[in-house]
Amino acid sequence: MLDFIARRLVAIIPVLAVVALFVFFMLRLTPGDPAAVIAGDNATSDQIADIREKLGLNLPIWQQFGIWLGNMLQGNFGESFFFKKTVSELIAQRLEPTLALSVCTLILAVSTAVPLGVVAAYRQGSILDRVVMGFSVLGFSVPSFVIGYCLIYVFAIELGWLPVQGYTRIGVDFGAFVERMILPSVTLGIIYVALIARITRASVLEVLNEDYIRTARAKGLSNRVVLMRHALRNAAVPILTVIGVGIALLIGGAVVTESVFGLPGLGRLTVEAVLSRDFPTIQAVILLFSVVYVLINLLIDICYTIFDPRIRY
């Protein structure tokens, strides 16, 4: 097991190296002096010279990459001249809403989608199955911000049940935090539910034809036990895989959802940074999201062995 984890850790090094190279060269591909681009539009020539010195822009490109990578690994993401802060500070400030939104969405989506998928598979061809599958195609087709605005219109403006926009920190007022998380999580969760429900249905369907399911039924186990303990557990690997792959959707969706609901998170930060051409922030956010995405998928790979002991690495 440890051997496997070590090997998987080694395997993600080239992946992260490509991401790092892309993020590094991103700035070099923009037209103009990288130092001037980093410093932003209102920089003085002293500031630009200072940045050139810090980044070693007069050195050969591979040495520049070395310096840059060293800085990144130490958590030194540089300075955002637009926000007048170090990028690390900026990220730390914006982390909570994004983290809260992702965790709420993940819990909401998995706890809705998996039962829906199992029931749809169990009652294959029924109206319920068709509704779930139809909903899943629809979930892929409606942009999340349209869903978001529809939800705001109905639940916040017409019915007045929930606040329209904004964020309350979890430590400040938990009740208000929950109230303000409901609509964003549902908005972001819909595409995720669509994805997970579809895969759950497909993989449970495949398992339901196996002999051990018939055996379990024959020995008189209840439907619930057969479905949950025998079918779902054996169908878990593809479901876990798609939850992992779906993290990319979740991150992309967070950018949009935060903009719709005015959550001051990393997604909004990304958009603000692109609009103000604040490259140190853009680079750091992309690097951070990609590392998180890769690590979550590594974690899921490791989880396979727990859900399916037949998998031996």
Query: Footprint of another protein on this chain (CB under 8 A)?
Result: 14-19, 21-23, 26, 29-30, 137-138, 140-146, 149-150, 152-153, 157, 164, 198-199, 202, 206, 247-249, 251-252, 255-256, 259, 270-271, 274-275, 277, 279, 282, 285-286, 289-290, 293-294
Output the smallest distance, CB 294 to another protein, in A: 5
Integer Cα distance of 178 and 136 in angstroms: 26
For residues 103 and 157, which CB has a smaller minimum distance to another protein in the complex? 157
For residues 92 and 138, which CB has a smaller minimum distance to another protein in the complex? 138
Q: For residue 277, how far is the Cα from the chain centroid?
A: 23
Output the smallest distance, CB 221 to another protein, in A: 27
Output the smallest distance, CB 187 to another protein, in A: 13
Using DSSP's 3-state secondary structure scheme, residue 19 falls into helix
For residues 128 and 156, which CB has a smaller minimum distance to another protein in the complex? 156
For residues 59 and 138, which CB has a smaller minimum distance to another protein in the complex? 138
For residues 61 and 157, which CB has a smaller minimum distance to another protein in the complex? 157
For residues 161 and 174, which CB has a smaller minimum distance to another protein in the complex? 161
**Tally of residues, the chain:** 313
Q: CB neighbours of 216 closer than 8 A, spacing ≥ 6? A: 225, 226, 230
Integer Cα distance of 147 and 138 in angstroms: 11
Q: CB neighbours of 145 closer than 8 A, spacing ≥ 6? A: 187, 256, 257, 259, 260
State the number of CA atoms in the 13 A half-sphere of 13 facing the CB. Answer: 6
Distances (CA, A) of 277 to 262, 286, 293: 20, 14, 24
Integer Cα distance of 244 and 158 in angstroms: 36
Integer Cα distance of 216 and 236 in angstroms: 18
For residues 107 and 154, which CB has a smaller minimum distance to another protein in the complex? 154
For residues 221 and 296, which CB has a smaller minimum distance to another protein in the complex? 296
DSSP 8-state code for residue 80: E
Output the smallest distance, CB 196 to another protein, in A: 12
Output the smallest distance, CB 20 to another protein, in A: 9
Adjacent-strand bridge partners of 80 = 85
**265 in Cβ contact with 97 (< 8 Å):** yes
Pairing of strands 79-80, 85-86: antiparallel
Integer Cα distance of 100 and 98 in angstroms: 5
Output the smallest distance, CB 245 to another protein, in A: 9
Output the smallest distance, CB 74 to another protein, in A: 21
Output the smallest distance, CB 256 to another protein, in A: 6
